[in-house]
Amino acid sequence: MSLFLYLDRDSPLHRLHPVVKVCGMLCLFVAAFVSDRPTVVLPVTAGVAGLIALVGAWVNVHRLRVLFVMVFIMTLLIWSLFYRGGVPIAAWGPISISAAGMQFALAMALKLVTFLSIGVVFLSTTKIEEFAYALTRVGMPYKLGFAMTMAFRLVPVFIDAAATVVQAQRCRGFNFDEGGVLQRLQRYVPVIVPVFMGALRRADGMAMALEARGFQSNRPRTSYEQYNFGARDTLALVVAAAVVGAYLALWYLGYTSVPIV
């Protein structure tokens, strides 16, 4: 199993400077975030969908389709039923539906799906090393960035280890599904201990292997990947800034919130 969505392709988005990718992602997030009206979110959603098409990242959307659909439907349902402030069309006790509520719910659902899509675009086009590089460029210490990339790499490893341990203990007649909540927590000891001890052993081995590759040599580091800031990056930044600027202006002028009907 893998946590990575990265697609090894050569799209215009892939070629952007890592810092520009991070900035662009943040701009799109802000633009989607300030909009509470479906018609206002929709252009962002459409834009991001365009980017997905540009990158060819529909594979990843397909991989996450269950998540997309669940998020959309659940958000739509919950906000339609629990939105307060509109004029009720129908009501069952404390629950009511209003036109404003439904508009808001649709906006929220679109917004969350847009967030997910922005994430997909970013992760499909950015290697974890690039992400770490971008963060160090804006001031994060190198070792922290490295720790972050390692965390990404190790999570699947530990999930695999845990799955094996669960199987090993099941082979010894161990049943996880017995007892109350507290008992169940206690019952996880035979899984947690081996996984944890394995993690410590692994950490120890990695620390030595890192050292053997010169991790603490204290010489000035170089970078194999040369990220050059080019015209494409400038253009991307201008577009991103224009989008976020426009949305902030709309928000400031009050065009992004749901009108009370």
Instruction: Name the residues that contact another protein, by CB under 8 A.
Output: 2, 4, 6, 8, 127-129, 149-150, 153, 156-157, 161, 164-165, 167-175, 189-191, 193-194, 197-198, 201-202, 205-226
Nearer to another protein, 183 or 223 (CB): 223
How many angstroms separate the Cα of 199 from the Cα of each of 99, 153, 164, 169, 187? 53, 13, 14, 18, 20
- Read off the tokens for 233: 């990056």
Nearer to another protein, 212 or 253 (CB): 212
Q: How far is the CB of 30 from another protein (least distance, A)?
A: 28
Nearer to another protein, 45 or 136 (CB): 136
Nearer to another protein, 8 or 84 (CB): 8
- Read off the tokens for 80: 């339609």
Q: How far is the CB of 202 from another protein (least distance, A)?
A: 6
Nearer to another protein, 184 or 201 (CB): 201
Q: How far is the CB of 211 from another protein (least distance, A)?
A: 4
Q: How far is the CB of 197 from another protein (least distance, A)?
A: 7
Q: How far is the CB of 156 from another protein (least distance, A)?
A: 8
Query: DSSP assignment, residue 171?
Result: T
- Of 46, 43, 239, 53, nearest to 34 (Cα)? 43
